Structure 1
Amino acid sequence: MGILTPARLAQLAATPLLENSWYYIAATTFSVCNEPDEIPKIYEYMMEKLANDRNGQLKMTRKMRESLMKGAALGGLPKSINSLTQLKNVTPTDLREPVLQRDKPSREEAEGRGRAMFDHVYGKIAKRVSGQMATAYPDLEYYAINHVYGPLLSYTSILTPKETSFVIVACLIPQDVNPQLKGHLKGALNNGATKEEVASVRDMALVISNWCGISWKSEVAKL
């Protein structure tokens, strides 16, 4: 039967303040927890809820795919491959994307767009965080800005900046990486989320992580 029972699906769907976003946040969390087999259950639940709304089904499908795609940069490409494959297997043919959905920014565009998003997320501490990465290894900062934030995280045609922040928080919670989580909890506020919304995302990701058997060395960071 796996992890997700009908009762647990209903519990996730009733998460306060996340009635329109719980499904892709949950899918991302399960992906990072390395439980891709749970993702089709979420998708099929949502397809049934939107049974009379094909446009709604397409929008939901795109958001789930995009959340798992962005999760590749935060939870690992192999996990995203497995999760997106599981999702594809239950997606009706007419809701699959036959061509590339995202743009292909030039190097200069990616650098500018990535830097702008990074600075917005981290706010007044952006230069310090960027400097810490460059000090650890100059290539790290370059890669993060130009190859993660630029072409991937800052692409907002499917997930808004706020929704992207929800995905990032969901990805970080199972990994026991409080330094990064602290920055992105505050970054979600900078991207337009309320404290209550961020708390709901954190709480739901904690619940799912516990279901998956995740443990932490210390208390998970919060706002």
Structure 2
Amino acid sequence: MSATTPTLPDTFWDSLATREDDGARIRWYMCVIINLSSLNYPDVIPQVYKHLQDHLLHGIAEAQRFNAIQTIREGLIKSTGIAGAARTGNAMRTLSQCVPEEYREKSSGRANETHEFAVERGRQFWKNIYARNPAFDPEASVRASPDYAFVVRDVLYARVFSYDGVVDPLTTGLAMVSALYGMDCPNQLQHHMKGFLFNGGTRGELIALRDLCLGIAKVLGVQSRYGECPIPSVESV
């Protein structure tokens, strides 16, 4: 069964013009692609890649082009722990069809790490997000299922979320929040927005990301079950 691919309107790109540098613009494209992936609209990704190619990649050095695409790929990998392997896999393969051969990965950075090293880094990353959040119950997942808690903390946080070989923790935070908007998960979204703030992000960045993700949903005609999730401030948690 086929589905019609929506076309992003010209006005969709307007908020990109407010990004002050290439790094911020790359993160904008990353967040858009992640959100499309989690919303299950991977077929829209080629439109985003073409805009990226025409408006940014052609104007930067070759090494920067690879790094830009690598940032987007890494953001998608991070989102696997939020949206799941099926949706992320569809998005990653769609993106791969757009990317020239010279900008594809040839090896896995994560494969070179020991599990012990990854677990220790993952536990620290987990603490950096949740430890200062009094609204988060660290034992809730353990009570629900010790195996689930193990998978989240010693697999997803170790191997997926905390890996810092490509992007920094704040960029990872943007990736996770983008995916959570697409998955319409307000509880987890609230916790990860708080973690982003605790680790040095700003409410302004979260407001811009909210407007971007909700704007994508509006363009695609996707209705949220839970409505808009309030953006917290560090002072309120």
- TM-score normalized by the length of structure 2: 0.86
- Of 33, 36, 49, which aligns to 1:43? 49
Q: Are 1:28 and 2:34 an aligned pair?
A: yes
Name the CA distance, whole Å, in 2 between partners of 1:180 and 1:110. Answer: 23
Name the CA distance, whole Å, in 2 between partners of 1:21 and 1:67. Answer: 9
Name the CA distance, whole Å, in 2 between partners of 1:157 and 1:62. Answer: 11
Q: Are 1:178 and 2:182 an aligned pair?
A: no
CA deviations over 1:130-157 (Å, ceiling 9, x no partner) = 2011011111111101110001100112
- Runs of 4+ displaced beyond 6 Å: none
Classify the secondary structure of the residue corresponding to 1:31.
helix
Q: Please say if residues 121 and 187 of structure 1, whose CA atoms lie closer than 8 Å, have aligned partners that are also in contact.
A: yes
Deviation at 1:128, TM superposition (A): 5.0
Q: Please say if residues 23 and 64 of structure 1, whose CA atoms lie closer than 8 Å, have aligned partners that are also in contact.
A: yes
Q: Which runs of 5+ in 2 are unaligned?
A: 233-237
- Of 190, 199, 217, which aligns to 2:198? 190
Q: Which runs of 5+ in 1 are unaligned?
A: none
Deviation at 1:15, TM superposition (A): 5.1
- Map of 1:5 onto structure 2: 9
Q: Give runs of aligned pairs for residues 46-85 of structure 1, distance below 5 A.
A: 46-48=52-54, 49-53=56-60, 54-85=62-93
Q: Please say if residues 165 and 191 of structure 1, whose CA atoms lie closer than 8 Å, have aligned partners that are also in contact.
A: no
Which stretch of the first structure deviates more once superposed, 33-42 or 15-24? 15-24
CA deviations over 1:139-191 (Å, ceiling 9, x no partner) = 11111011100011001121210001001111111222111111001111123
- Of 137, 146, 151, which aligns to 1:143? 151
- Map of 1:91 onto structure 2: 99
Q: Please say if residues 104 and 151 of structure 1, whose CA atoms lie closer than 8 Å, have aligned partners that are also in contact.
A: no
Q: Are 1:153 and 2:161 an aligned pair?
A: yes
**How many residue pairs end up in the alignment?**
222
Root-mean-square deviation (CA, aligned residues, Å) is 2.0
